[in-house]
Chain A
Amino acid sequence: MDKTQILENLAHAAIEGDEDLARESAEQALSNQIDPLEAVEQGLSKGMAVVGARFESGEAFLPELLMAAGAFDAAMEILQPEIEAQKKEITKLGTVLIGTVKGDVHSIGKNVVATVLGTSGFDVVDIGVDNATLDIIQEAKKAKADVIALSSLMTTTMPAQREVIEVLEEMSLRDKFLVMVGGGPVNQEWADEIGADGYGKSAVQAAEVARRLLGREG
């Protein structure tokens, strides 16, 4: 099998969410001396971009996105050790710490954003739901995060997003982190009001905003 076909298969594996094909194609990439970084960038990532675009346009739904991410991870289990052995590294766009704020146990929107960020080249640290303000900040410090992404699905928990920003200011840490907010009731107006650095209406937009905030556009 030639290189073009293997790269196409890697992309196809992501698009179809086919973990077996992803593993098999990753093995073939290595046995055919294909640069593992190229396998990621010209194969897997291209497939992920197709799924992301379909998700954004409404042609695909969360299961397709999660299955694609599963295939991506399956291939990476094989490619990553070789990337490290060759002392190469995948260019990461930055580290995003993401979580739902205190009092809010909703996770779907946050999970989608985390998945899209992860497959767009960010290192993502997902701290789950119902996180106290100080815990979010401590985790962000520990993760050396560039961006803190705060999710809230309820109008009654939105103020906790403001609180994170206020406490960062009180602790003189505001300039250490970029803060993004999102969630059903959140909008640009709210983001501006509380002094957040960015807001994404959708998961794909959130990734674009994170890229812009970190100066990694294009």
Chain B
Amino acid sequence: MPDFLDFMERATTGQILAENDYYLKVLIPNVTKVVREFGIRYDPANPVSSDDELADRLFEAAVEFVTRTGIYCGATNRVIEVGRDELLQAVENLPDGSTFGEGRDRRRFRARRPGDERPPWCHVGTGIVASSEEIATAQVEGYGGIPQASSISIPAFGRVRGMHVVGGSPLEIYATIGSVQAGRRALGRAGRPGLPILNLISSATTSMATIAGTHPDFGLRPSDGWLIDFLAEMKVDFETLNRLAFVHVTGGNVGSTALPILGGYAGGAEGTALVMTAYYLLGILLFRGAYHLTGPVHFRHGCSTTRDGLWVMSVAGRAASHNTRYPAIGLAYAAAGPCTKEYFYEAAAANLCCVASGYAGVQTVHPAKAVIEDGVTPLEALFNVEMAYAAAGVSSERASELVNRFLQKYEDIIGEAPKGKRYQECYDLRTGKPSEEYVRLHEEIKEELTQMGVSFRF
């Protein structure tokens, strides 16, 4: 099976092609043809798919698509070719899960199947920017306080000594190191020092900053998750490959991640599902990942919780779950922000969709499209865990019924979803507790969802 350096060779010797030509002459026509050849059809009536034949066809289609399309290396303007046999062999060779964390928080992350009764891996928190170390610490401490949390994402720092962090600058190095140190300290204060950090470092936009932040003195460990992303769509550059080279040589759990754009180069729901499934295969073969993190982002709405977004999430997850042992975390972006009813409905829909479709794990649904500084609190993370546990064992058919009901609550207003509140507007900075208003809203929503048929375990 080819290793990383074999792919580097392909990145420097493959077919040379302008990026625009790769999209117009290779990717877009291949998406159209493969979707048609394999009969992939969007089913809006069933946002959570229970169609195993479709799942298997989608997986086969993704193998065919990657074989025909390869992946584009923006740094060399060449196509990295990928062979069918090597893809299938890499899938066959996958281990039975990966191990993360230290001490009592060390655990095995294994694939799940659709309808699996085991609760999913709960990856809590978001990489949303925090305005200050104080708020970032309070957020992470709150995540650590959730007993069912299996791993966390630490926030990015938006400022260093009052200065806005600019990507590629020394401030990014300071922000990156600072965010890891603060995250680890906060986990210590929460009594969960071994809880794995799975988002690598959101503050780091460059490979240089990533590598700086992974110095052992700063707290990142090989038992954490070292998340490395594909570029939308079907593209890598040297920033991606530099990170991969570093982790492959020094050791660590590589996480492959891709957030395909629904309505972007892959087109509508069918094409996006195809590309999203293709990323699993590339994560397994090219990245040699220990886990995958994925979810579609709607081009117009910037979120994943639209009807077509949920369908894409569902069919791609089901296809991978049915055909690989690659443990994947479903990540959805909500349009609405913290302390709003709409956020809870969106998060409920995304968790049901992912858990019933066989995702091994779910991440806290990112509020307000993940674009608001301080726009995340631990109460959303807690609700996501509650929903994820409630969704375990629910059939896809039942999940689809419920998701259809949740969609009725927010679908028509998703373009004008409320931004919600920032951490300091719905949490007490001194005590780290949510406001009475937010606690009340959380309780009311759980009661309403219970009436609608959700069985919360806690």
Interfacial residues, chain A to chain B (CB-CB below 8 A): 58, 61-64, 66-67, 70, 102-106, 108, 130, 154-160, 162-163, 184-185, 202
Q: A105-B237, A105-B239 are in contact. Are A155 and B371 (CB under 8 A)?
A: yes
Taken together as a complex, chains A and B put the C-alpha atoms of A70 and B31 apart, in Å, by 18
Q: Which residues of A contact B156 (CB under 8 A)?
A: 155-156
B59 to chain A, nearest CB (A): 23
Residue in A66, A105, A159 whose CB lies within 8 Å of B164: A159
What are the residues of chain B within 8 A of A185 when measuring CB–CB? 369, 371-372
Question: For residues 115 through 134 of chain B, which have their beta carbon under 8 Å from a beta carbon of chain A?
Answer: 128-129
By the criterion CB–CB under 8 Å, are A157 and B205 in contact? yes
**With an 8 A cutoff between CB atoms, is B167 at the interface?**
yes
**Segment 292-342 of B: residues with Cβ below 8 Å from A:** 299-300, 302
**Which residues of chain A have C-beta atoms less than 8 A from B371's C-beta?**
155, 184-185
Task: Decide: A105 near B265, CB < 8 A? Known: A155-B129, A156-B156.
Answer: no
Q: Is the CB of A157 within 8 A of B263?
A: no
Asked whether, in the complex, the Cβ of B265 is within 8 Å of the Cβ of A156, the reply is: no
The residues of B that contact A105 with a CB separation of less than 8 Å are 74, 231, 237, 239
Cα A24 to Cα B273 in complex, Å, equals 35
For A104, list chain B residues within 8 Å (CB): 167, 205
Residues of chain B within 8 A of A70, CB atoms compared: 24
Which A residue's beta carbon lies closest to that of B175? A156
- Among candidates B264, B267, B300, B369, residue contacting A202 with C-beta atoms closer than 8 Å: B300
Q: A66-B28, A154-B205 are in contact. Are A108 and B261 (CB under 8 A)?
A: yes
Say yes or no: B168 contacts A102, CB within 8 Å: yes
7 extra A-B contacts, CB within 8 A, seeds A63-B265, A154-B205: A63-B32, A103-B167, A105-B74, A105-B231, A106-B232, A157-B166, A185-B372
Complex contact B205–A156 (CB within 8 A): yes
Contact status A66-B24, CB under 8 Å? yes
B158 touches A156 (CB 8 A): yes
List CB contacts (< 8 Å) of B257-305 with chain A. Answer: 261, 263-268, 271, 299-300, 302
Contact of A62 among B172, B231, B265 (CB under 8 A): B265
A103 CA / B168 CA spacing, docked (Å): 6
* B73 at interface, CB cutoff 8 A: no
Subset of 10 A-B contacts with CB under 8 Å: A61-B267, A63-B32, A64-B267, A102-B166, A103-B166, A105-B231, A154-B167, A155-B129, A157-B167, A162-B164
- What DSSP secondary structure best describes chain B's contact surface? loop
From B203, B231, B232, B264, give the contact of A156 (CB < 8 A): B203
| B58 part of interface (Cβ distance < 8 Å) | no
Closest chain B residue, CB of each to CB of A70:
B24
Check: B64 CB closer than 8 A to any chain A CB. no
A154 to B205, CA, bound (A): 9
Chain A residues within an 8 Å CB radius of B354: none
Count how many chain B residues have C-beta atoms less than 8 Å from C-beta atoms of the other chain: 41
B158 nearest CB across to chain A (Å):
6
A62 adjacent to B264 (CB under 8 Å): yes
B165 within 8 A of A: yes
Residues of A within 8 A of B32 (CB): 63
List residues of chain A with CB within 8 A of the CB of B206: 103
Residues of A within 8 Å of B164, CB to CB, are 158-159, 162
Does B23 have its Cβ within 8 Å of any Cβ on chain A?
yes
Is B102 an interface residue, CB under 8 A from the partner?
no
Q: Are B166 and A61 in contact (CB under 8 A)?
A: no
Chain B, residue nearest A185 (CB): B371
Given that A70-B24, A185-B371 are contacting pairs, would A61 and B268 also be in contact in the complex, using a CB cutoff of 8 Å? yes
Residue among B129, B167, B263, B300 having the largest count of chain A Cβ atoms under 10 Å: B167
A70–chain B nearest beta-carbon distance, Å: 6
Query: B23 — nearest CB in chain A belongs to which residue?
Result: A66
* Bound: A104/B144 CA distance, A: 31
Name the residue among A64, A154, A163 with the largest chain B CB count within 10 angstroms. Answer: A154
Residue B81 lies at the interface, judged by CB distance under 8 Å to chain A: no
Query: Contact between A156 and B300 (Cβ–Cβ < 8 Å)?
Result: no
Judge whether B231 and A106 touch: CB under 8 Å. Answer: yes
Contacts of B263 in A (CB 8 A): 58, 61-62
Bound-complex Cα distance A63 to B267 (A): 6
Chain B positions 9-34 with a Cβ under 8 Å from a chain A Cβ: 23-24, 28, 31-32
Q: Does B373 count as interface, using CB distance less than 8 angstroms?
A: yes
In the assembly, what is the distance between CA of A63 and CA of B28, in Å? 7
Would you list which residues of chain B between 182 and 237 have a CB under 8 Å from chain A?
Answer: 203, 205-206, 231-233, 237
Instruction: Tell me the bound Cα distance from A175 to B233 in angstroms.
Output: 37
- CB of A61 within 8 A of CB of B203, answer no
A218 to chain B, nearest CB (A): 26
Contacts of A157 in B (CB 8 A): 166-167, 205
A residues near B169, Cβ cutoff 8 Å: 103
| Chain B window 146-171, contacts with chain A (Cβ cutoff 8 Å), 1 for yes, 0 for no | 00000000001010000011111100
B231 nearest in chain A by CB position: A105
Nearest chain B CB to A101 CB, angstrom units: 9
Give the complex CA separation of A66 and B233 in angstroms. 15
Residues of A within 8 Å of B299, CB to CB, are 61-62, 108
**Chain B residue nearest to A183 in the complex (CB):** B371
Q: Which residue of A lies closest to B156 (CB)?
A: A156
Whether A67 lies near B166 (C-beta < 8 A) is no
Q: A102-B166, A160-B166 are in contact. Are A155 and B158 (CB under 8 A)?
A: yes
Closest to B204 in A: A156
Closest to B25 in A: A70
Assembly CA distance A184 to B233 (angstroms): 16
| Distance A173 CA – B323 CA, assembled complex (angstroms) | 58
> Which residues of the partner chain A approach B203 to less than 8 Å between Cβ atoms?
156
CB-CB under 8 A from A156, the residues of chain B are 129, 156, 158, 165-167, 172, 175, 203, 205
Give the residues in chain B near A155, CB-CB below 8 Å.
128-129, 156, 158, 371, 373
Q: In the complex, what residues of B have CB within 8 A of residue A158's CB? A: 164
Q: How far is the CA of A157 from the CA of B164 in the complex (A)?
A: 9
A63 and B23 CA atoms in complex are apart in Å by 9
User: Contact at A102–B167, with CB atoms within 8 Å?
Assistant: yes
Once bound together, how far apart are the Cα atoms of A80 and B268, in whole Å? 33
The distance in angstroms between the C-alpha atoms of A113 and B231, with both chains bound, is 18
